[in-house]
A and B are shown apart, each in its own frame.
Chain A
């Protein structure tokens, strides 16, 4: 069931620009390292890398530092990186190019605040790496459940059992979750792990 709103990710490639901002989590670092092999010399001198290692731990940190980016930031979570990111966007000029790689949650949430700053989604380079876990918005209570790997999933806010759809909202940076047993709440389809 292909759905138009289902995001499609590409492969990072160096764009023309005056500044380059990379934001990655976990396995996303490997996409930056792969891209760096094709990038022009000195490309990373005008780049900033913001990295959230998460489940990847220290695996890629030394490799990213070895690219000698103009700036390197490492943080514990996307939420913790947000104030810095907003500050960068507020002060940035046209010519800044954005590269997002790693989990869909990271790509979606950063795309969302980039749109607020006036960067259209089509102007962003993205590459998905690592977990397929989804960020899901419950369409009933509007609560967001992070790191969803099963179908169906229980909403972490209102407790309804949700069918996770491919219907994606860029505005919420989340997939839509719809009650799967509204007709008969006693029906409880088994949860299968499908978004690994």
Chain B
């Protein structure tokens, strides 16, 4: 989806090292106008021109939705990752032009809620910076519980404390400070919605506890962008386009399809939104499903795959693309 309307020509106006792991990037429109309106929890996809390769990575917007003269994102450096965060950390400088997408929100606040309970781990704090700014401006009722390792990586903890005071609860896990999840979940007034963003293990922990304590499924919201995992190269036939492609070790299936000149739809590139869902015509082998979208039934039947994060091992794979 490289349609003109979804691409915003932006300039990097500032790059700030927040701590040893995290850098913040500010984007403004090249033409100086205001950027599209967004709501807390939205993300943008940043296009990185890395030599002959285009990287497209999603990042949550952390700036206030009330101020659209710039967008800010924070990127945690992942030395063992596929290279997107390293590109942002090492190659992006103020003044540089980059293309970003329109914002998309797959982690929005449910404004029918009487109260919003937010649980963040590590860099998962970024969408909550935007959401708390939005709620604070509207007089909304919220409570944020934020866990990180130690003071060296307490990304924005001081800022949040300063902005929202006692509504922010901080936990430094290296010092044995841990969220008493059962107590927090059990003491919320009726009509509270729960939001969690952080490592996979934390999301599972919080969702399971909420289910056990009687939180209805519709009140529990979570976001985890699964970065595409590397794996063995594999061959795919794109039946509609009539071409065969090879997916490289460090490339996602979606990226390989795009590299072949085909523009399938996508939004999150992290296995959560469902946009790139692709029908499987035939296969002989095994899927490595890494998404949070397909149902168990879809996975068992082998009829669908999410090319943004999932892979394949085996003899042949034919997709309806």
Contact = CB atoms under 8 A, between A and B. Distances in A.
Given A89-B190, A94-B188, A118-B190, A123 B212 contact: no
Main secondary structure of the interface of B (DSSP, over half): loop
Interface string B195-238: 00000000000000001111111110000000000000000000
B72 interface: no
Chain B CB within 10 Å, residue with most, of A17, A19, A118: A118
B67 to A, nearest CB: 30
A97 interface: yes
B187 A118 contact: no
B185 interface: yes
A117 interface: yes
Contacts of B113: 118
A83 B258 CA distance: 60
A120 B219 CA distance: 9
Contacts of B189: 92-94
Interface in B65-123: 112-114
Interface string A89-127: 100111111000000000000000000011110110000
Main secondary structure of the interface of A (DSSP, over half): loop
B214 A120 contact: no
Chain B CB within 10 Å, residue with most, of A15, A92, A95: A95
B186 to A, nearest CB: 6
Given A93-B189, A118-B113, A15 B214 contact: yes
Nearest to B185: A94
B216 A93 contact: no
Given A16-B211, A17-B213, A94 B218 contact: no
A92 B190 contact: yes
Contacts of A92: 189-190
Contact of A16 (B114, B213, B219): B213
Contacts of B215: 94-95
Contacts of B212: 16
B190 A93 contact: yes
Contacts of B218: 120, 122-123
Given A16-B213, A17-B213, A119-B190, 14 more contacts: A15-B214, A16-B212, A16-B214, A89-B190, A93-B186, A94-B188, A94-B219, A96-B190, A117-B191, A118-B112, A118-B114, A118-B191, A120-B216, A123-B216
Interface of A: 15-19, 89, 92-97, 117-120, 122-123
